[in-house]
Structures are given as C-alpha cells and as structure tokens.
C-alpha cells in the first residue's frame, strides 16, 4: 500500500492552516504546516521529504516569490512541486506560475473539492513528468524587476487578509447554522424561540473556537503576528511574564478582563512601558505628580484641559514646559507601570495575547527596562499584604483622627504619603473615600490607614 503523500502547507493565517490541513488529512494526505516562507524552508531542509508544497503568495518575513527563489536555488530541493494559493489566484496563474515553476495556482477562498482536485492534479502531473520547466533560483528575476502592478503589496495583503477572514467567518457561521435551521419543521422555523434554540445548539465549543481564530485574523493589523494567547484562569499572568522574560521576548502583551485592557510593551524580556484603558483613575500619570508634590491639582487640571483633544502626551508636555524634570517623569512612569502590574497579578480571570509587532512611540520614548522577576516578587508580597489588611479593615467605616495620639508625634515624623492620607481624614469620610481623596495609590493608602489604626492614630467614629 502506497504511503500518504506529505504536503507542506505554508500560510500566515492560522485559520487557513487549520482548515487546509483538516481537508488534506480527511482525504488521506499527511499535512505539515508553517506560518511563513522562512519557516517552510527550514522544515524542508530538516526533512523528511515533502511531495508537494501549498504556498500562500503574500506573507510576512518571506513571501511566496522569495520562497520559490530560495527553493529553486538549492539543488537538493529545486524540483519540489509547488501550488500557489492567493486571493488573486487568477492573476498569479500566468506570470508567477511560470516565473516560479509552480505546477498550478488556486484562488482563495476555495472549497474542499477544489483544493483536493488541485492537489491530486499537481501530484499526478509531477508523477507523470508533466511539470512545467523549473527555473534556477539565481536566474529568477529580482522582486524589484517585477512590474509593480503585478506584485501584491503589503497594504493589499492586509486588505485581502481582512476580506478573506470576513469570507471565512461568514462561511463558518453558515456551515454551522444552516443545517440546524433547515432541520426544523416549517412550523418551528416560523417560531423565533425555536430558531434561537437551534442556533444555540449549533454553536458548540468547537465552532466557537474556530470562529475565534478567524476573528483574530480579521482583527490583527498589518505587520502584527500573534505568538501566543490564552486564559488567565488557566495560565496566571506571573507565569506568562516570567516565560517572556526568560526567553528575552520582544513584543506587546495584551491583557484584558471585563473592565480593563492593558498593553505591556516588552523589549528583550524587560518591560519598557504599560498602557491602560478602563483602569481606575489612581493609575493615571497625573496622580503620581500630585503624590510627589511637584504639581498642584489646579496645575494638573488646567494642563489636562488644555491638552484635551490633542495627541500630546502629558509627561512629555510637562518636561517640555520645564514643570518636571526628565528624571521625575521616568520615576512616575516606573511607579505607574509597576503598580499596574501589581494590580493585574490579582486578576482572577481575563484573556492574554502576546503579539510580535512594531514598537509603539510611547514605549520607545519611555524605555523603562524594568525586570520581570523583581516586579512579580513585589507583586506577590503586596497580594499577601492586601489579604491581611482587607481582612481587618471595614472600607465602609468612617474614621476620625485621635488628636491625643497625633499630638504625641514629633514634628516631621510623618512621611509625605502618611501626611496625604491623614489630611484626607475629615471625620466624615469612609475608608474608601479617604483612599480616593488622598491622591495616594490604593495599596499605599490602605497600608498607611492599617498602620495608623494599629497605632490608634486613626479610629472608627463613634456611632
């Protein structure tokens, strides 16, 4: 019995790789996948021998044409048959099939029957020696020599990828829902409740997982490649950060829950910058300048009002106006970044995604270079302290200052943080309100309140 033909599928879309590999496996082929031309070349060099390559034409790092030049330049693999896949299959079928020595080309999107027919035809042509002439890689024209109107460009690639993902998504939804709806009786089809129930039954975990992959392809911007993703309930953030740190990874870690979205820019395993959307006001950069005392609330509010509607960054504008020094800005960014990380380590649920993408301008300017291990250790220490303090403090309780205890303190004995917290106590505010009013980070403010209550400087107001 003949062994299954080994087919290497090269495409930058995870969905295409998954779908094409599944089709090939169902029809008796042995598929292997690669995310771009460079990875494909490495697999071919390592072996074992492939019988056919299904090749996407427009990809990052090494596109289809570059792949073919590299393949045809190596005598050991020069004659390996290639079938080109592209959303512009009709256009590349002429010029590029001839220039690359490809056996055939297929237009995306395609169905299973069309794919299998092209694969069978390509293998048959190769077995019968009916391949077109194979060019030598060194004699293939440089990409620059190919007419611009003929060569797919990155901007077109991004647009085509989104169009392809949209078509795939619609096809997957239709494939999942139509059979369930058609199986209903005419009476049930006229019932909204029956149709909704049929849709709910059709949307299985496998279907949802497949749709999620397609949506990721649709959402990723040009030049962005997802390296890993998952559930924080299964893989804690601390472990994710430590893996990225140990592997000295460069890219952006996106972390979300139902309230907050955080992006962590990493360079060679170090954290350069953290940005948030939907986080508590205490993590706004201006709060750190208020806490340090380098800005008054009036100054901050006035500047924020002036910058509203512009793309100017608060920190850079403060430095440009010589209201704060560069050193003070970096210190504030370091504290903001660290406290956001500490807070995220307490998240019980959420999603994460690490992408390879161009560095953001803000991260390039900040370059904080914070080590992951130190942040994680400090974060865990704070988590333990939080548990202790939260178990002994009633956050809805109104606090008052014990004046006798206050008078016993020596002048200058209180730190600035302690004084800010004490100044927020007016005999009417609850613990939660004192924390918010103090302009001190919640952890530090609660820690001060806890210590003051232990030393009797603060006590609950008598009812």
Looking at the fold, whether 97 and 164 belong to one and the same domain comes out as no
Binning pLDDT at 50, 70 and 90, where does residue 147 land?
very low
Q: Which of 315, 320, 342 is nearest to 331 (CA)?
A: 315
Looking at the fold, whether 322 and 407 belong to one and the same domain comes out as no
| Helix, strand and coil percent figures for the chain, each rounded to 5 | 50, 15, 35
pLDDT at 183: 86
Binning pLDDT at 50, 70 and 90, where does residue 105 land?
confident
Looking at the fold, whether 272 and 366 belong to one and the same domain comes out as yes
Looking at the fold, whether 178 and 278 belong to one and the same domain comes out as no
Domain that holds residue 65: 6-145
Does 1 map to a domain? no
Looking at the fold, whether 336 and 453 belong to one and the same domain comes out as no
Looking at the fold, whether 236 and 352 belong to one and the same domain comes out as yes
Looking at the fold, whether 179 and 324 belong to one and the same domain comes out as no
**Of 365, 386, 407, which one is at a domain's C-terminal end?**
386
Q: In Å, how far are 14, 181, 185, 195, 197 from 191, measured between CA atoms? A: 37, 11, 10, 6, 10
Looking at the fold, whether 229 and 358 belong to one and the same domain comes out as yes
DSSP H or E segment with residue 435:
helix 431-437
CA pair distance 332, 286, nearest whole angstrom: 9
Does 299 map to a domain? yes
CA pair distance 158, 65, nearest whole angstrom: 17
Looking at the fold, whether 405 and 435 belong to one and the same domain comes out as yes
**Of 182, 201, 219, which one is at a domain's C-terminal end?**
219
| Domain count within the chain | 4
Looking at the fold, whether 300 and 375 belong to one and the same domain comes out as yes
Looking at the fold, whether 205 and 82 belong to one and the same domain comes out as no
pLDDT tens per residue across span 212-268: 655 655 555 555 667 777 888 888 888 899 888 888 888 899 998 878 889 999 988
What does pTM read for this prediction? Answer: 0.53
pLDDT at 113: 82
Does 206 map to a domain? yes
């Amino acid at each position: 019995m003949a062994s299954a033909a080994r087919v290497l599928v090269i495409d930058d879309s995870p969905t295409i790789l998954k779908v094409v590999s599944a089709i090939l496996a169902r029809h008796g082929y042995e598929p292997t996948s690669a995310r771009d031309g460079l990875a494909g070349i490495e697999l071919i060099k390592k072996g074992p021998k492939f019988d056919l390559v299904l090749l996407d034409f427009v990809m990052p790092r090494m596109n289809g044409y570059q792949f073919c030049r590299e393949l045809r330049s190596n005598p050991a693999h020069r004659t390996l048959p290639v079938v080109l896949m592209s959303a512009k299959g009709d256009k590349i079928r002429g010029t590029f099939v001839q220039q690359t020595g490809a056996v055939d080309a297929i237009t995306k999107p395609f169905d299973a029957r069309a794919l299998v027919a092209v694969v069978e035809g390509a293998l048959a042509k190769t077995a019968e020696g009916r391949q077109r002439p194979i060019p030598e890689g060194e004699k293939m024209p440089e990409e620059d020599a190919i007419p611009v109107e003929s060569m797919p460009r990155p901007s077109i690639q991004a647009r085509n990828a989104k169009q392809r993902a949209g078509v795939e998504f619609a096809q997957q939804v239709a494939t999942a829902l139509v059979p369930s709806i058609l199986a209903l009786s005419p009476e049930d089809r006229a019932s909204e409740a029956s149709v909704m129930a049929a849709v709910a039954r059709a949307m299985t975990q496998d279907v949802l997982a497949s749709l999620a992959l397609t949506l990721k392809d649709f959402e990723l911007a040009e030049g962005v490649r997802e390296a890993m993703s998952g559930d924080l309930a299964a893989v804690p953030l601390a472990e994710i950060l430590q893996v990225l740190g140990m592997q000295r990874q460069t890219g952006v870690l996106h972390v979300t829950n139902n309230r907050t979205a955080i992006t962590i820019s990493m360079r060679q395993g170090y954290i350069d910058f953290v940005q948030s959307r939907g986080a508590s006001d205490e993590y706004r950069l201006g709060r750190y300048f208020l806490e340090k005392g380098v800005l008054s609330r009036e100054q901050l509010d006035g500047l924020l009002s002036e910058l509203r509607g512009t793309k100017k960054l608060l920190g850079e504008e403060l430095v440009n106006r010589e209201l704060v020094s560069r050193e003070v800005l970096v210190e504030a960014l370091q504290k903001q970044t660290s406290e956001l990380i500490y807070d995220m380590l307490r998240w019980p649920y959420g999603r994460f995604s690490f992408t390879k993408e161009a560095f953001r301008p803000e991260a390039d300017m900040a370059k904080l270079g914070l080590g992951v291990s130190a942040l994680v250790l400090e974060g865990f220490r704070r988590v333990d302290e939080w548990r202790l303090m939260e178990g002994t403090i009633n956050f809805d309780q109104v606090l008052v200052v014990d004046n006798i205890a206050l008078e016993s303190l020596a002048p200058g004995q209180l730190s600035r943080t302690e004084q800010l917290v004490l100044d927020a106590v007016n005999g009417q505010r609850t613990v939660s309100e004192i924390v918010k009013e103090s302009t001190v980070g919640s952890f530090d403010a609660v820690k001060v309140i806890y210590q003051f209550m232990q030393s009797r400087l603060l006590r609950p107001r008598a009812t």
